Amino acid sequence: MRDPTSFLKSEYDDLVRQELEWKLRVLGGPSTPWCLVDGKKVLMFCSNNYLGLSNHPKLKDAAIKAVQTHGAGSGSVRPIAGNMDLHRELERKLAAFKEAEASLVYQTGFAANAGLIPQLAGKGDLIISDELNHGSIIDGVRLSAAERKVFKHADTEDLSKVLDEAEQAAPVFRRILVITDGVFSMDGDIAPLDRIAALAHDHGAMVYVDDAHGEGVLGPGGRGIVSHFKLPRDRVHVEMGTFSKAFGVVGGHVSGSQDLVNFAYNKSRTWLLSGSHPPAVVAACTAAVDVLEHEPQHVQKLWDNTRYFKKAMRDLGFDIGRSETPITPVMVGESGKAKKLSSRLFDLGVFALPIVYPMVAQGKARIRTIMNAALTQEDLDFAVGAFEKAGKELEIV
């Protein structure tokens, strides 16, 4: 009798043959500049922990105290009995930080996109999405019954064309939703949100930005891409983000009008049907917001490190693409060579992962480095030296 699960092994084996499989390494302790990975002391160069907050004493203290006062878990989903005062306090502080009317915390950033996008646009509506948007946006769009269009990456002329065509469509769309990443996670470039918002406004369309990699990075005090472009709140209707990157913890959220939040928590099944964050997580997230409010030096150090590293890599002859942010891809091309470079870097004491197809296009494999405010100049020089040695050995530079 035929094994109905035989495809599992065959498809995985095919990934191995193409050198496209993920090999999971084990972090043996906190995410710090120097950490234990698979038992080896290495320099962390690929985490999303931009500001080093995941091991910040204020976040750890807040988490411990919350366990003592509120227990280990919430006991339910928020609509039933899991809506703690800690959750409400986090949303209040987050909204103030984002300078928005209201915020709503989701279990993850993926849950925010998957749960809210299909509710904002359905049958009779149109979603227009950047071609390089994150997979969670793509999945959220696929869950919607709306018609879908894609505009060329960060190309506002193409977006204008798609919007013009939408206005001439028959029957007329009820609603149009334009969605873009704020910072694109593979190349580190920034969406032209100012121009996107202006075009959407002219066409009466909603704007949804996923600012997962912009929070804690862009704008005054790390408030994100809307603040970075000094955009009025009524021009960007949904600002989505995550606590798992610069905030150093875990969870997703959206900020905008009170009407948006009321709509979202009544309509998003990912929010309605998932257990709420345990007290320790919520308290740590709240502490992270406080740290960004009162310790601006972390964001400044992040950018100082970013500029130093980018210049050093360019001077060595590495291709670091079009990055404008602390995400710095080291372009390699072939997936196999990117994996060899990552492996050699690990031997030399630097943990930096390869990004290969299908996460990026064929022939666009790279080592994606992500800068961290906790790194010293000596750490950066160590990493640059490792890249230089491995890059020359593999004839990349």
As a whole number of Å, the end-to-end CA separation of the chain is 54
The answer on pLDDT for 19 being more than 80 is no
Which CATH architecture group holds 15-44+297-393? Answer: Alpha-Beta Complex (3.90)
Of 19-28, 43-52, 205-214, 237-246, where does mean pLDDT reach its minimum? 19-28
- pLDDT for res 20: 76
Cα(51)–Cα(298) distance, rounded to whole angstroms?
6
Decide which of 3.40.640.10, 3.40.50.150, 3.30.750.24, 3.40.50.800 is the CATH code for 57-294.
Answer: 3.40.640.10
Mean pLDDT of the chain: 96
Read off the pLDDT of each residue in 214-239 and give the average, rounded to a whole number. Answer: 96
Q: What percent of the chain has pLDDT over 70?
A: 100
pTM, whole model, 2 decimals?
Answer: 0.95
Site of tokens 């994606």? 368
The strand order across the sheet containing 327-333 reads: 327-333, 365-370, 354-355
The answer on pLDDT for 363 being more than 80 is yes
- pLDDT for res 359: 80
Cα(305)–Cα(85) distance, rounded to whole angstroms?
38
Which residues are catalytically annotated?
185, 213, 245
Residues of the chain within CATH 3.90.1150.10 domain(s) are 15-44+297-393
- pLDDT for res 22: 80
Site of tokens 């990055």? 323
Query: How do residues 166-177 score in pLDDT, each as one tens digit?
Result: 999 888 999 999
| Nearest to 77, CA basis, from 111, 114, 36 | 111
State the helix-helix crossing angle for 57-70 and 279-294, rounded to 10 degrees: 150
Q: Return the SS3 of 20.
A: coil
Cα(315)–Cα(76) distance, rounded to whole angstroms?
54
Read off the pLDDT of each residue in 261-274 and give the average, rounded to a whole number. Answer: 97
Residues of the chain within CATH 3.40.640.10 domain(s) are 57-294
